């Protein structure tokens, strides 16, 4: 692979290396992926410091559902700046957060009340504390390979030897508190019998079952037919609260998120990413009697920037756009997504690779495997992950930014011209990959 060594990129890379520990401020991609230093974003494109143009399928890792410079989002943010830009979340409400909560209650099935935060990680921590506070129970049940933020208790862990107590090893990096998983139990996902067994054995101490309703962080695996319904019934049987972490699926899979799409209503849900038109904002939504614990301080949780006014205004504008014409933008995104998924597979095929592509509306995953689809990461055990990482490098080389975990973040704003440009670039990337073989 040729490397980009234009003067500007080299110079910015040198400056970054001196003052920042890594080529970005999140988890770092592997060495096969060359650095990108963005200078400007417009529509669905990024221009780097060399002036190189990328079609961006990362879109902020989800928030950029409506593109980078959507005029209606911009207008709403500027108007809010004129109205009130900073509001003390500990001292007052502001009107935009109330209007936004009304919209979430209108569109999201489980939402009777809403509490806002800033990041998805914080909202996940809030929901876990809330469930413990409400139930008086100690443990949270998470699922192997799901992601609920990077905090010690919400991050990682894997199953070993049939035990529901997760182990966490070197793959999580150093520095995780020793006690972090002591009140976490774990279960394989998409297996209702496994959940039933864990709740039968430990249900009396489990406050919350939390899951991504589509496993977007590992293979974009869909729930098996009837699985979410079974989870709902099992949680009710053992008196355990159920939360869907909709940080990815929320407002992306549909205006009602995964719960709206599948028709299964959890007790609580967490939102972030695409909810606020690209600005930082998260939310915990749930049943009134659970949320009441926050109202009278039986459960505590803070955050100086919670309900950040510019983000709440941006979210209102975005959700209104998504709701218009009975969700026309979602229908538009489905058309774009179908073309991208098919085009990606065809480009792979032309260069001798077999690619599986799957994902819910708004998010795609690809893997080098002959399988048609995957319900769990075990189904992907034979997929060539190293090849996928190298493809990500060739994609960058060809002017396509692909998100970590071999994922493409979709937007309804992609024009036909951009789709065909993307398909041409996919072809170039696979040609590059084939040239290495």
Ligand X SMILES: Cc1ncc(COP(=O)(O)O)c(C=O)c1O
Tokens of 53: 């143009």
Q: Which of 126, 118, 168 is nearest to 144 (CA)?
A: 168
Give backbone dihedrals phi and psi of 103, rounded to 5 degrees, phi first: -65, -40
In angstroms, what CA-CA distances link 306 with 71, 254, 404?
25, 25, 28
Q: Which of 36, 100, 140, 248 touches ligand X (CB under 6 A)?
A: 248
The window from 13-21, 117-125, 340-348, 400-408 that contacts ligand X (CB under 6 A) reads 117-125
The piece of 180-188, 243-251, 336-344, 407-415 that touches ligand X (CB under 6 A) is 243-251
Question: Please, what is the Cα angle at 271 between 412 and 234, to 5 degrees?
Answer: 115
Q: Residues 327, 333, 339, 344: is their CA dihedral positive or negative?
A: negative
CA 6 – CA 411 distance, rounded (Å):
30
Closest CA to 235 of 210, 262, 271: 210
Site string for ligand X, 186-225 (x = CB under 6 A): --------------------------x----x--------
Least distance in angstroms from the C-beta of 82 to ligand X: 28
Q: Cβ(218)–Cβ(367) under 8 Å?
A: no
Using the rule CB under 6 A, which residue among 64, 256, 272, 359 binds ligand X? 272
143 close to 132: Cβ distance less than 8 angstroms: no
Using only C-alpha atoms, the chain has a radius of gyration, in whole angstroms, of: 22
3-state secondary structure of 143: strand
Please report how close the Cβ of residue 243 comes to ligand X at its closest, in angstroms: 11
169 close to 152: Cβ distance less than 8 angstroms: no
Smallest distance from ligand X to CB 29, Å: 14
Position with the least CB separation from ligand X? 120
Stretch that binds ligand X, among 9-17, 104-112, 245-253, 346-354 (CB under 6 A): 245-253
Identify which of residues 115 and 148 has a Cβ nearer to ligand X in the complex: 148
Whole-number minimum distance, CB 140 to ligand X, in Å? 14
Comparison of 311 and 433: residue with beta carbon closer to ligand X: 311
Binder among 58, 121, 358, 398 for ligand X (CB under 6 A): 121
Nearest to 376 by CA among 187, 96, 232: 187
Size of site (CB under 6 A) for ligand X: 13
DSSP character string of 291-307: HHHHHTTSS----TTTT
From the CB of 300, what's the least distance to ligand X, in Å? Answer: 20
Nearer to ligand X, 68 or 147 (CB): 147
Angle of helix 309-350 relative to helix 95-107, nearest 10 degrees, comes to 50
Applying CB under 6 A, among 34, 67, 120, 286 the residue interacting with ligand X is 120
Query: Would you say 9 or 247 has its CB closer to ligand X?
Result: 247
Q: Give the residue from 283, 329, 278 showing the smallest Cα distance to 74.
A: 278
Closest separation in Å from C-beta 216 to ligand X: 6
* Of the residues 48, 56, 144, 245, which one makes contact with ligand X according to CB under 6 A: 245
Q: Which parts of 128-167 interact with ligand X (CB under 6 A)?
A: 147-149
Q: Report the residue number, 137 or 148, with the smaller CB distance to ligand X.
A: 148
Residues that bind ligand X (CB under 6 A): 119-121, 124, 147-149, 212, 217, 245, 247-248, 272
């Amino acid at each position: 692979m040729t490397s980009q060594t234009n003067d500007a990129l080299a110079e910015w890379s040198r400056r970054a290396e001196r003052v920042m520990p890594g080529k970005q401020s999140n988890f770092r991609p592997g060495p096969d992926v060359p650095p990108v230093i963005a200078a400007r974003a417009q529509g669905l494109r990024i221009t780097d410091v060399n002036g190189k143009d990328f079609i961006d399928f990362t879109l902020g890792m989800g928030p950029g559902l409506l593109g980078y410079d959507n005029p209606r989002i911009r207008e709403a943010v500027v108007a809010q700046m004129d109205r009130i830009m900073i509001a003390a979340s500990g001292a007052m409400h502001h009107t935009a957060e109330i209007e936004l909560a009304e919209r979430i209650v209108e569109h999201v099935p489980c939402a009777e009340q809403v509490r806002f935060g800033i990041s998805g990680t914080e909202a996940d921590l809030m929901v876990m504390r809330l469930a413990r506070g409400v139930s008086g129970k100690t443990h949270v049940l998470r699922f192997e390979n799901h992601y609920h933020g990077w905090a010690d208790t919400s991050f990682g862990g894997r199953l070993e030897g049939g035990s529901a107590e997760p182990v966490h090893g070197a793959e999580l990096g150093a520095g995780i508190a020793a006690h972090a998983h002591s009140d976490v139990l774990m279960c394989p996902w998409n297996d209702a019998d496994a959940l039933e067994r864990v709740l039968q054995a430990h249900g009396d101490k489990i406050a919350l079952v939390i899951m991504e309703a589509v496993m977007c962080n590992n293979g974009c695996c869909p729930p098996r037919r009837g699985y979410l319904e079974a989870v709902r019934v099992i949680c009710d049987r053992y008196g355990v609260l159920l939360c869907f972490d909709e940080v990815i699926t929320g407002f992306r899979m549909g205006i009602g998120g995964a719960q709206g799409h599948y028709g299964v209503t959890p007790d609580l849900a967490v939102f972030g990413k695409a909810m606020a038109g690209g600005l930082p904002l998260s939310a915990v939504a749930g049943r009134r009697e659970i949320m009441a614990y926050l109202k009278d301080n039986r459960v505590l949780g803070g955050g100086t920037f919670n309900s950040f006014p510019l983000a709440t205004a941006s979210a209102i504008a975005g959700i209104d756009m998504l709701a218009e014409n009975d969700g026309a933008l979602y229908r538009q995104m489905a058309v774009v997504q179908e073309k991208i998924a098919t085009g990606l597979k065809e480009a792979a095929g032309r260069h001798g690779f077999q690619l599986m592509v799957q994902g819910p509306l708004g998010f795609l995953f690809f893997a080098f495997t002959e399988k048609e689809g995957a319900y769990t990461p075990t189904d992907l055990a034979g997929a060539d992950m190293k090849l996928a990482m190298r493809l990500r490098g060739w994609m960058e080389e060809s002017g396509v930014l692909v998100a970590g975990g071999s994922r493409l973040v979709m937007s309804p704003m992609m024009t036909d011209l951009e789709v065909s440009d993307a398909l041409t670039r996919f072809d170039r990337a696979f040609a590059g990959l084939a040239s290495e073989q």
